[in-house]
């Protein structure tokens, strides 16, 4: 009587009988791989949908640089307009689906644009530091007001001098006890208004002079 052949398959030249321990182990591994794959796909889909939500906030000038399809752009515009919760959710799912069609290079460009929007420009950072330096310098240095007016003659000199005088009056005397407790020195309204005045001059279309010694050299 002939022996009935076993059902099975070959893996790397090795015969694996159906129902055997090796067969069950391979099937468990295969099932685990599939579950991981589905998890990865779901996570990627969620990340791209979130990226699409961030893309809705991108400035027009940065958006214009991106090589995106009209379909995706229109979907983003529609998503901004929709106020109904369920409608918004479905629209964002559609945006996420379109985001999955982007190439890795396009996605990198999207992330770079969003990062550029989040990070302040180098000029803005310089203007902030320069404003803080000039504010402290105007209060601490008797000659600083004259130097500022020379470089920025459009400043209301009477207003600036009045604010500086008031800021000096408001300055608290050195308190060693407060310093030992790590308490920051409190400043009055004039201190804040000097900052606003200086910032307004620096950011109101007034170029920072190239020979401005305060830019990165003055230590308040």
119 DSSP assignment: S
Answer yes or no: is 5 within a domain.
no
Q: What is the pLDDT of residues 129-175, one digit of tens each?
A: 899 999 999 999 989 999 999 999 999 999 999 999 999 988 765 55
- For the chain, the first-to-last Cα distance in angstroms comes to 103
Are both 17 and 111 inside the same structural domain?
yes
- What's the pLDDT tens digit per position in 66-75? 999 999 999 9
Residues 114 and 135 in one domain: no
Q: Please give the Cα distance from 213 to 220 (Å, whole number).
A: 12
CATH code at 54? Answer: 1.10.60.30
Q: State the pLDDT at residue 77.
A: 92
Please give the backbone phi and psi of residue 18, each rounded to the nearest 5 degrees, phi first: -60, 135
| Domain match, 133 and 186 both | yes
Name the domain count of the chain: 2
Token duo for residue 20: 């055997």
Same domain, 133 and 169: yes
Cα dihedral value 62, 65, 69, 72, nearest 10: -10
pLDDT (0 to 100) of residue 146: 93
Same domain (yes/no): 114, 137 = no
- Percent share of the chain, pLDDT over 70: 73
Domain, as residue range, for 69 = 13-118
Q: What is the pTM of this model?
A: 0.43
Distance separating alpha carbons of residues 188 and 168, to the nearest angstrom = 10
- CA distance readout (Å), 212 to 140, 175, 200, 202, 218: 18, 33, 17, 12, 10
In this prediction, residues 30-46 reach a mean pLDDT of: 65
Residue 110 shares a structural domain with residue 20: yes
pLDDT, one tens digit per residue, over 87-127 is: 999 999 899 889 988 898 999 999 999 988 887 776 778 88
CA dist list (Å): 100 to 57, 91, 104, 216 = 19, 14, 10, 45
**C-beta separation of 220 from 132 below 8 A:** yes
The listed range with the strongest mean pLDDT (18-32, 89-103, 172-186) is 89-103
What are the φ/ψ torsions at residue 15 (nearest 5 degrees)?
-80, 130
Is 98 in the same domain as 131? no
């Amino acid at each position: 009587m002939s022996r009935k052949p076993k059902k099975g398959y070959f893996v790397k030249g090795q015969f694996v009988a159906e129902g055997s321990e090796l067969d069950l182990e391979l099937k468990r591994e295969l099932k685990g791989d599939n579950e991981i794959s589905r998890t990865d796909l779901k996570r990627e889909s969620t990340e791209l949908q979130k990226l699409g939500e961030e893309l809705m906030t991108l400035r027009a000038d940065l958006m214009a640089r991106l090589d995106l399809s009209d379909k995706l752009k229109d979907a983003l515009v529609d998503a901004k307009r929709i106020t109904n919760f369920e409608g918004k959710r479905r629209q964002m799912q559609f945006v996420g689906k379109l985001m999955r069609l982007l190439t890795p290079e396009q996605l990198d460009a999207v992330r770079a644009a969003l990062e550029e929007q989040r990070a302040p420009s180098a000029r803005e950072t310089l203007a902030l530091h320069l404003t803080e330096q000039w504010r402290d310098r105007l209060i601490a240095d008797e000659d600083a007001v004259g130097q500022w007016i020379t470089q920025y003659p459009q400043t209301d000199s009477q207003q600036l001098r009045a604010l500086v005088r008031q800021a000096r009056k408001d300055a608290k005397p050195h308190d060693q006890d407060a310093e030992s407790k790590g308490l920051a020195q409190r400043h009055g309204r004039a201190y804040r208004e000097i900052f606003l005045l200086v910032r307004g001059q620096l950011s109101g279309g007034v170029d920072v002079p190239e020979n401005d010694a305060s830019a990165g050299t003055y230590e308040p």
